[in-house]
Chain A
Amino acid sequence: MEPSASSASHAKAPDPVVRFETHPSRYKHWKLSFDGAVARLEMNVDTDAPLRPGYELKLNSYDLGVDIELADAVQRLRFEHPEVKVVVVTSGQPKIFCAGANIYMLGSSTHGFKVNFCKYTNETRLYLEAACSESGQHYVAALNGVASGGGYELALACEEILLCDDGSSAVSFPETPLLAVLPGTGGLTRLVDKRKVRRDLADVFSSLAEGVRGKRAQDWGLVDRSVPRSRFDQTVIDRARALAAATPDKQGAGVALPALEVARWEDAGKAGADYRYVSVKVDKATRVAELRMLAPDAAAPATAEALRTAGADAWALRAFRELDDALLDLRFNHPTVGLVRLLSRGDAARVIEADRALAAQAESDWFAREVLLHMKRVLKRLDLTAKSLFAIVEPGSCFVGSLFELTLAADRSYMLGEGDDEGTAAFVGFSPLNFGPLPMSNGLTRLASRFLAKPDRVAELAEQTELLSGPDALDAGLVTFAPDAIDWEDEVRLAVEERASLSPDALTGMEANLRFCGPETTETKIFARLSAWQNWIFQRPNAVGERGALTMYGRPERPEFDWRRT
C-alpha cells in the first residue's frame, strides 16, 4: 500500500457517483499497446486524477477509477483482441511497479465504499485469472520496481511473475506490520493456495514491511523468476513470446464493445436506468429496487458467423453487459437499497432458443465461448451482490434457461401458483445453460448448489423439456413460494417489506453464508475471507480507532494497540 499524501483528511468523503464504462482512448492510468500476439498493459497512474478529490495517487497507487480501467482492458482484450495470447502487466514509472490501493483514499472512504471497492478489485483479479485459464490469454507480471500490498496482489493474479533483481525491487505485504490490516485482494489466499508458498515462509513474508527481493523471492516461490536489471526487459519479451508460441490461435477477427446505451432518470424519490434489455427502478424511500430483464426481441443468430455479425448487439452479450452495469450501479450508487426484486418479461421460447444456439456455437467458436464466459461472470457478480435478491415470477415473465439462473441466484423466489394458461400463468424452464456452463464461485451450477441434499435431482431435471407452472415448480423445489392469485399481492408485498426492515449487516452475512453452500474454492475463500476477516479487521480500533495503525499511518505519532486477542 502506498505511503504518500501530506494532508489526509479524516472526515469520510461522500461516495462519488461512479460509472463503469470507459475505453482505452480515455484511459488516464493505463497504456494498452500491442505487438502481435503480445499486449502490454502499462500502469502509469496519474497522480492528479483520483476518482474524487482529496488524495493523490502517488507511486502508482490505485483507486476505483484505476481499477475500472484495468477491468475494461481485461474485458476488451478478450473480445476485441483474439490475436493476443500474452498480456504483460508492467509499470511505466521508475522503481515502482504498484504500491497497491491508496491508503489515503481508503482512510477517507466510508466503510461501505471500501468493501465495495475491494469486492470489485477482487472480481477484476479473478477475471484476469479466468482470461488465463479460460481464454488462452496469459498474464505475465513484469515487476520492474517495488510491488507492495495490492501491487503484489495484482502480480499474484497473473500466471507468471518476473521480478527485476536490482537490489531495490521487492514484493511485499506491508499491511499487517504497517497498517494493522490485511491484504484485501486475495493476496494471502493466493500466496498459499495458488502459489503454494510454504505457510511459515508466507508468515515471515506477510509480517515484513520491506518485503523480499531478488533470489530469496524466487527461492520462496513469491515470484517465478528474479532477473538482473540489464537482462530484465529482454527476458520479459522472450518469456512472453515463448508463452505466445505455445498458445493456439483463434480464428476470426475481434468484436468491438461499443458503449452501452442507457437512459438514466430521476423523479421524486425514484431513480432508474433504462437499457435495451435491462431496466432498473429504485425507490429511495422503501430502499427497494426492481431489476427487469427482457427476452430477445428477435430470432437468435443461427450460426457462429451470424452471432459474430450481431457482435455486441447479440442479446446474449448485450443483455448481460447491461445487467453487469446495472449491478455495479446498484452496488456503488445506491448503497441504501437493501432488496432487489428480479423481474423478467418476454418470450421464453426466444431465451431458450438463444441459449441453445450459444451452447452449440461455443463448442467451436471462440467468440460464442467468450459470450458464454461473460454470462458466467455477470451471474457471479449477481451472486456476490450484497443485497437481498427476490425473484418474482409472474405471468408474462421469461425465467427460463440463462434467465432462470437469476431465479436460482435469488435468496428467495415467489412464483404465481395457479393456472396453466399462457396468458394468466407463470412458467419457468431450462436450457442447456442451466446444467454446466454457468457455475457459481463454488464450482457448482446453481441447480447443483440448490439440490446439495439430492444430487440426482439435477440429472432428472435435465430431462425436463416442458415449461413448469407454479405448482409444478414448487413441487420440484425450484421456487420458494407459489401463492395463488388471491394471496399473491399481499404475500409478495409483506415479504418484501419485512425483508427490507432487517439489519443490513446481518442480512449481508446471512445471505453470503447461505448462497455459497457446497465446496470451497480459491474464489469462495477469497470473498469469504474478504467479508469476514478483512472487513472485520478494517473496522477494529487497532486499525481505524483514534490511535489505530491505519489512522496513524503517515502521521507523526505511533499507533497504540488493544493487546487482547479475539
Chain B
Amino acid sequence: MSSVVNSDRIPNNVHLGDDKKLQRALEAWQPRYVEWWKQMGPEGFQEDDVYLRTAISVDHEGWAHFDYVKMPEYRWGIFLTDPVPDRKIGFGDFMGEPVWQTVPGEMRNMLRRLIVTQGDTEPASVEQQRLLGKTCPSLYDLRNLFQVNVEEGRHLWAMVYLLHSYFGRDGREEAEGLLERRSGNPDKPRILGAFNEPCTNWLSFFMFTYFTDRDGKYQLLALAESGFDPLARTTRFMLTEEAHHMFVGETGVLRVVKRTCELMKQNKREDARAEGGIDLATIQRYVNFWYSCSLDLFGGEISSNAASFFANSLKGRAKEDSYPDHKALDVGYAMQVPVIGEGGRPTFRGEEVPLRNAMNEVLRDEYVEDSQRGVDKWNKAIAEAGVSFQIKLPSRRFHRRTGIHAGMHFDVEGNPLTKDEWEARKHQWLPSEADEAYLQSLMSKPVYEANQMANWLQPPPHGIKGKPVEFEYVRRHP
C-alpha cells in the first residue's frame, strides 16, 4: 500500500487494506484533500500542535483518542457503525425488504444527490470558519474550533467514501467537486445557501454550531434510517461527532449569556456593551439570523423530492421507529400556506399536504422543538442572574429564503408584513453592519495565553478530557 493511503494513516473499519478500488480512488483524492485543507482550512495554525480527539476505531475506547497533532497530519478516518444483522428497511415503499448493500440502479442519481448535498456542507463549514482562529477568545475555544473543523473534514471523508465505493467514475468526479466548490465564491458556491454565509465572528460560530450543525444532526438522523445500509451506518457514526459540535454551540452561547448578565449587573444602567460585553438584544438578533438560515436548510415545505426520497426508502424521518406508521400514505399534513394578498401583504390558506410531500416540514418540526431546549437553558441562566429578558426563537416564517415563505415578509412573531414594512423594521430583528462592527471590535485581539479568557464570555466550567481549563490546548509555533 502507498505511504499515504494505508490503514495506519487512515484509520478505518472498512477493510481499506483489501479494497483496491477504494485505495485507487483515495490515492488520487487524499493529496487534493490535504491541499484543500492547507488552502482553505484554519488560516495561520497549520503548524501548531493542537490537542485533538481522533477517532481510531468505532468501539467505546477508540472513537475518542486524544493527543497533540498538527492539523494537516490529522488522521482523518473512515468509520461505519457496526452492521445490524439482518437489518430490514424500515419505511417507504420498500419497507420490510432487506437493506441494500449496493446502490440500486434506479436510485443511483437520487442517492448521489443526497450524499453530495450532505457532503458539500462539511468542507463548506470549514471554509466559513477559517479566519476565526485569529479572533479566538481562549485557547480552549480555539481548540474546540479546530476539533469541529477536523471533524467536519472527517465527515467529508465519510461522504467521499460512499461516493468512491458505490458510485464509480461519477462518484469520483463528485468527490473532486466537493473540493472545488468554495463557500461564498459566486463562481463556485457551496450548494446550500446558509453555507455561503460568512461566519465572521465567534458569536456567529457558536450560533452556527448550535443551529446549523443541528440541522446536520437531523439530516443525519433521517439518513441513518436509509435503506442503503452503508449510508445509514456512516451517518450513525457521524452523529456521535455532531453531538460535540452542538455542545460547543450550546455552551458557547451559554457562556456568553452568563457573562453578559454579569456585566449588566456591574453596570448602573445594565448596559452590557458599556462593560465590553455583548448585549442580549444583539444575541437575540444573531439567534434570529442563524436560526432562520438553518430552517432553510431543510428545504421546501411541500416537496416532491422529499416525497421521492421517502417513497424510495432513501431518507426517513428522524427516529423513524418512534412513528406509528412507516408508509406515510393516505395521511395529510395540515399547513398554512401563505399567498400574496392585498398590498403585497401575505395571507394564509389552509392546505392538507400529502404527508410524504411534507417530510421536510416533519423533520423541521423536530428540529424546532429540539432547538428550544438550549434556548431554555440560556433563559434559565438569564433568570438566575436576575435579568429580565428572554431569548426567543423567531417564527419559522421569519426571514426565509426557501420554501413557501420565500419572497414574502413576516415579523419574528410570524405576522405578515409588506415589503416596505419589512425594510423599515428588519434591523430590529437581524444583525446590522453596526452589530457586526461592534463584535469585530470586541474580538479584534485574539487570546492565545493559556490562562486567559476574553472579557465577553465566561470560562467553561471544565476543561477537556480531565484537563484544566487553563491547559495549553493549542501550542502555538511562531
Q: How far is the CA of A198 from the CA of B243 in the complex (A)?
A: 49
Residues 79-93 (chain B) with a chain A CB within 8 angstroms: 93
Q: Mark A201-238, 1 if CB is under 8 A from B, else 0.
A: 00000001110000000000000000011100000000
A58 to chain B, nearest CB (A): 11
Judging by beta carbons under 8 Å apart, are A7 and B304 in contact?
no
Q: Mark A170-213, 1 if CB is under 8 A from B, else 0.
A: 00000001000000000000000000000000000000111000
B363 to chain A, nearest CB (A): 15
Q: Mark B36-76, 1 if CB is under 8 A from A, else 0.
A: 00000000000000000000000000000000000000000
Q: Mark B89-123, 1 if CB is under 8 A from A, else 0.
A: 00001000000000000000100010000000000
Which residue from chain A places its CB closest to the CB of B335 in the assembled complex? A6
Judging by beta carbons under 8 Å apart, are A210 and B109 in contact?
yes
Q: How far is the CA of A48 from the CA of B344 in the complex (A)?
A: 13
Which residue from chain B places its CB closest to the CB of A553 in the assembled complex? B304
> Does A355 count as interface, using CB distance less than 8 angstroms?
no
Judging by beta carbons under 8 Å apart, are B357 and A6 in contact?
yes
Judging by beta carbons under 8 Å apart, are B353 and A228 in contact?
no
Residues 431-483 (chain A) with a chain B CB within 8 angstroms: none
Chain A neighbourhood of B328, CB < 8 A: 556
Residue of B188, B191, B337 with highest tally of chain A CB at under 10 A = B188
Judging by beta carbons under 8 Å apart, are A166 and B189 in contact?
yes
Q: How far is the CA of A329 from the CA of B181 in the complex (A)?
A: 52
Residues 181-201 (chain B) with a chain A CB within 8 angstroms: 181, 186-191
Judging by beta carbons under 8 Å apart, are A230 and B187 in contact?
yes
Judging by beta carbons under 8 Å apart, are A167 and B189 in contact?
yes
Given A7, A166, A168, A209, which contacts B351 in the complex, CB threshold below 8 Å?
A: A7
Chain B neighbourhood of A210, CB < 8 A: 109, 113
Q: How far is the CA of A556 from the CA of B306 in the complex (A)?
A: 9
Judging by beta carbons under 8 Å apart, are B311 and A558 in contact?
yes
A556 to chain B, nearest CB (A): 3
A86 to chain B, nearest CB (A): 25
Chain A neighbourhood of B357, CB < 8 A: 6, 554-556
Q: A167-B189, A167-B191 are in contact. Are A556 and B109 (CB under 8 A)?
A: no
Judging by beta carbons under 8 Å apart, are A6 and B311 in contact?
no
Q: How far is the CA of A210 from the CA of B177 in the complex (A)?
A: 16
A106 to chain B, nearest CB (A): 15
B127 to chain A, nearest CB (A): 14
Chain A neighbourhood of B302, CB < 8 A: 6
Q: How far is the CA of A210 from the CA of B329 in the complex (A)?
A: 26
A369 to chain B, nearest CB (A): 43
> Does A165 count as interface, using CB distance less than 8 angstroms?
yes
Q: Mark B303-334, 1 if CB is under 8 A from A, else 0.
A: 01101101110000000000000001100000
> Does A3 count as interface, using CB distance less than 8 angstroms?
yes
Judging by beta carbons under 8 Å apart, are A556 and B307 in contact?
yes
> Does B355 count as interface, using CB distance less than 8 angstroms?
yes
Chain A neighbourhood of B187, CB < 8 A: 165-166, 228-230
Given A3, A208, A229, A555, which contacts B354 in the complex, CB threshold below 8 Å?
A: A555
Q: A554-B357, A557-B93 are in contact. Are A6 and B186 (CB under 8 A)?
A: no
Q: A6-B302, A167-B191 are in contact. Are A556 and B311 (CB under 8 A)?
A: yes
Residue of A210, A555, A556 with highest tally of chain B CB at under 10 A = A556
Judging by beta carbons under 8 Å apart, are B189 and A6 in contact?
no
Chain B neighbourhood of A167, CB < 8 A: 177, 181, 188-191
Chain B neighbourhood of A3, CB < 8 A: 304-305
Q: Mark B353-370, 1 if CB is under 8 A from A, else 0.
A: 111110000000000000
Q: A6-B337, A6-B351, A7-B351 are in contact. Are A558 and B186 (CB under 8 A)?
A: no
Q: How far is the CA of A167 from the CA of B173 in the complex (A)?
A: 13
Chain A neighbourhood of B305, CB < 8 A: 3
Q: How far is the CA of A556 from the CA of B304 in the complex (A)?
A: 7
Number of interface residues of B (CB under 8 A): 29
Which residue from chain A places its CB closest to the CB of B304 in the assembled complex? A554
Residues 535-562 (chain A) with a chain B CB within 8 angstroms: 553-558
Q: How far is the CA of A6 from the CA of B305 in the complex (A)?
A: 13
A230 to chain B, nearest CB (A): 5
Q: How far is the CA of A166 from the CA of B188 in the complex (A)?
A: 5
Chain A neighbourhood of B353, CB < 8 A: 6
Chain A neighbourhood of B351, CB < 8 A: 6-7
Chain A neighbourhood of B329, CB < 8 A: 556-557
Which residue from chain A places its CB closest to the CB of B93 in the assembled complex? A558
Chain A neighbourhood of B191, CB < 8 A: 167-168
Judging by beta carbons under 8 Å apart, are A558 and B188 in contact?
no
Judging by beta carbons under 8 Å apart, are A230 and B186 in contact?
yes
A250 to chain B, nearest CB (A): 38
Q: Mark A302-334, 1 if CB is under 8 A from B, else 0.
A: 000000000000000000000000000000000
Q: Mark B3-35, 1 if CB is under 8 A from A, else 0.
A: 000000000000000000000000000000000
Chain A neighbourhood of B356, CB < 8 A: 556-557
Which residue from chain A places its CB closest to the CB of B356 in the assembled complex? A556
Chain A neighbourhood of B186, CB < 8 A: 166, 229-230
Judging by beta carbons under 8 Å apart, are A558 and B308 in contact?
yes
Which residue from chain A places its CB closest to the CB of B177 in the assembled complex? A167
B473 to chain A, nearest CB (A): 36
Chain B neighbourhood of A168, CB < 8 A: 189, 191
A196 to chain B, nearest CB (A): 25
Residues 39-71 (chain A) with a chain B CB within 8 angstroms: 48
A179 to chain B, nearest CB (A): 11
Judging by beta carbons under 8 Å apart, are A554 and B307 in contact?
yes
Chain A neighbourhood of B310, CB < 8 A: 556
Chain B neighbourhood of A558, CB < 8 A: 93, 308, 311-312
Q: How far is the CA of A99 from the CA of B351 in the complex (A)?
A: 25
Residues of chain B having any CB pair with chain A under 8 Å: 93, 109, 113, 177, 181, 186-191, 302, 304-305, 307-308, 310-312, 328-329, 337, 340, 351, 353-357
Residues of chain A having any CB pair with chain B under 8 Å: 3, 6-7, 48, 165-168, 177, 208-210, 228-230, 553-558
- What 7 A-B pairs come out closest when comparing CB atoms? A556-B356, A228-B187, A554-B304, A556-B354, A556-B307, A6-B302, A229-B187
A–B complex contacts, Cβ < 8 Å, 20 sampled: A6-B337, A48-B340, A166-B186, A167-B177, A167-B189, A167-B190, A168-B189, A209-B109, A210-B113, A228-B188, A230-B186, A554-B304, A554-B307, A554-B357, A555-B357, A556-B310, A556-B329, A556-B354, A556-B356, A557-B93
Other A-B pairs, 16, CB within 8 Å; known A6-B357, A558-B93, A558-B312: A3-B305, A6-B302, A7-B351, A167-B181, A210-B109, A210-B113, A228-B188, A229-B186, A230-B186, A230-B187, A555-B357, A556-B310, A556-B354, A556-B356, A557-B93, A557-B311
